Structure 1
Amino acid sequence: MLQWRRPTQPDGYPRVSIVAKALWYIETRYVDPALSLDDVAAACDASRFHLTRAFGVATGRSLMRYLRARRLTQAAQALAGGAPDILAVALEAGYGSHEAFTRAFRGQFGVTPETVRARGHCGGLELVPALRLDRGGELPLAAPRLIGRPAFTVAGLSERYTHETAAGIPAQWQRLAGHVPDASVTYGVCEDADGGAFDYTCGVEATGAVPAPLTAIRIPAQRYAVFFHPGHISAIRMTWRAIFDRWLPASGLRATGGPEFERYDERFDAATGHGGVEIWIPVSLDDEDRVCA
């Protein structure tokens, strides 16, 4: 069993929020076309992986898509105000050419920059306002168990999501039920992917050949912080948010970026969504805080 000493927080846990820091940093600097994910992560004293996960589960958006949307919103407002030089607006928004800016602008709003400038207003555009982190929905979080687990394999169905499209995960579980109807323990495995996306595999532990259309994912031997989400499954994102946005920054531990997973055992009732779910986060411990019992 692994134990650690959580660093003392002057204001007391759980008031630390790296997402609130990230939002403030973005809002004060997003007009800088050179602002990058690395810059925001460094300002929050977090890894790219940790910040990306925390931001996604707290806001339902990927950080870089939010940053681009904020820049394009500012650009739309400038154009509606009569900005005479579209290329200058494009450069200020971080685009190196009129063409690249137009593609991004049309993708965001469905119209060209010229159209918005000619209209002289932003009516009908889905502008992205500055996000404010709602602290009213914070969830109490029990201390996790810290344990090691050997490598194992999960066989299941895999899909790629962004934080904006993650609402499709329950339907993925419904599809899995047709392949493993009697499983007593199932897993939902999250792996980081490019561009703020993530791969989600729902499945069961496997020891032999994996039949089509299931795919196999190998989970390496790792140390984990194991949390328990006691509420309805529809609120599990609140627990993920509490872990990445509040618990990890205050813990003195570091998320390694390896596969994380939800573990659904006999306590969970798939028919009602009640019963609770374990969340396993791979972590590393600083040498001075590590005690092996």
Structure 2
Amino acid sequence: MSLADKALWVIERNSGRELTLGSIAAACNVSRSHLANGFGTASGWPVMAYLRARRLSEAAKRLAAGAPDILLVALEFGYGSHEAFTRAFRDQFGTTPEEVRNGGSTDRLSLVAPLRLTNGRARTPIPTLGELRRLRLVGLSAPCSYESAIGIPAQWQAFMCDHYADIPDKAPGIPIGVCRAPDEDGCFEYMCATEIRSVSSPRKPLAALDIEPGAYAVFDHRDHVSTIFDTYTAIWNEALPAAGLNAANGPVLEFHNDAFDPGTGLGGLTIWIPLQRDGNGSGR
């Protein structure tokens, strides 16, 4: 069973209990970042957005069947008040719980059914272990999600064409991609960056980021760069658990190989996943 499948089981089995990204991750024995990345890359859903959608979908069925007390339905599905439930319900479906109960139907609602995940689109990569030295990076950062990751190539083009040449005191080497740890809504910052030798502050819209030294699991992505999400899916859901490794809640780094060609997307890169040193998956 993959990590994403384990998380699905926890969510479906305990949807009436208080669940957070941290508690679901703990039940799967991984860090919050590991779970958010594993579930998001496998399903396209942020963990907590899927949890909310499933709870509200089941609540809508209950209401359409004539549940007499909306507050009891709200409490059953993890909402502490009628107001909070109504607000979330309207955000999800564009209507109110009362209207669904009075109409006696969910036909006009976009209900979310339980996911059935099939992983294995990419071969499961085997990690090597590496120690990363301290890095000081400067780059162009932008908010991202699993749904909007298609915009990352355009971000790279903007960084390389509009900013890269003007960054002072660059260290030798090919620019580096940085994926910050996702939040509870599955949103993360992606940075197109280069290492610098100095400690000066960059000019906006560029920003600086310090990467602390630490232990990493290193994976090769040898295929076209457009298939990198398939490799990430295999890493988070299969490769790390199979190797007995727990990811920390730190940035993931993408180091392009010397042969990488931005014109074709070929040449490959290595993916560096920060690891827990204590092995408990609780995060740094």
SS at structure 2 position matched to 1:146: strand
Matches within 5 A, 1:63-74: 63-74=47-58
State how many pairs are aligned: 270
Matches within 5 A, 1:1-293: 16-30=1-15, 32-135=16-119, 137-177=120-160, 178-180=162-164, 185-195=174-184, 196-208=186-198, 209=200, 210-284=202-276
The answer on whether the counterparts of 2:125 and 2:239 sit within 8 Å (CA) in structure 1 is: no
Question: For residues 50 and 19 of structure 1, what CA distance do their matches in structure 2 show?
Answer: 10
* Alignment CA distance shift 1:92-1:254 (3 Å): same
The answer on whether the counterparts of 1:252 and 1:285 sit within 8 Å (CA) in structure 2 is: no
Question: For residues 35 and 257 of structure 1, what CA distance do their matches in structure 2 show?
Answer: 19
Indicate the larger mover: 267-276 or 97-106. 267-276
The answer on whether the counterparts of 1:50 and 1:244 sit within 8 Å (CA) in structure 2 is: yes
The answer on whether the counterparts of 1:255 and 1:284 sit within 8 Å (CA) in structure 2 is: yes
Deviation at 1:130, TM superposition (A): 0.5
Superposed CA RMSD: 2.3
Question: For residues 183 and 145 of structure 2, what CA distance do their matches in structure 1 show?
Answer: 10
TM-score by length of 2: 0.86
TM-score by length of 1: 0.84
Alpha-carbon displacement from aligned partner over 1:1-29 (angstroms, at most 9, x marks no partner) = xxxxxxxxxxxxxxx51211111222222
Alpha-carbon displacement from aligned partner over 1:203-259 (angstroms, at most 9, x marks no partner) = 211223323321111111122221111112221111111111111112122212222
* Amino acid across the alignment from 2:214: Q
Deviation at 1:40, TM superposition (A): 2.5
* Alignment CA distance shift 1:168-1:123 (3 Å): farther
Q: Where in structure 1 are there 5+ consecutive unaligned residues?
A: 1-15, 288-293
Indicate the larger mover: 93-102 or 140-149. 140-149
Question: For residues 91 and 154 of structure 2, what CA distance do their matches in structure 1 show?
Answer: 27
Question: For residues 280 and 105 of structure 1, what CA distance do their matches in structure 2 show?
Answer: 39
* Amino acid across the alignment from 2:53: A
SS at structure 2 position matched to 1:254: coil
* Alignment CA distance shift 1:192-1:91 (3 Å): same
The answer on whether the counterparts of 1:232 and 1:275 sit within 8 Å (CA) in structure 2 is: yes
SS at structure 2 position matched to 1:188: strand
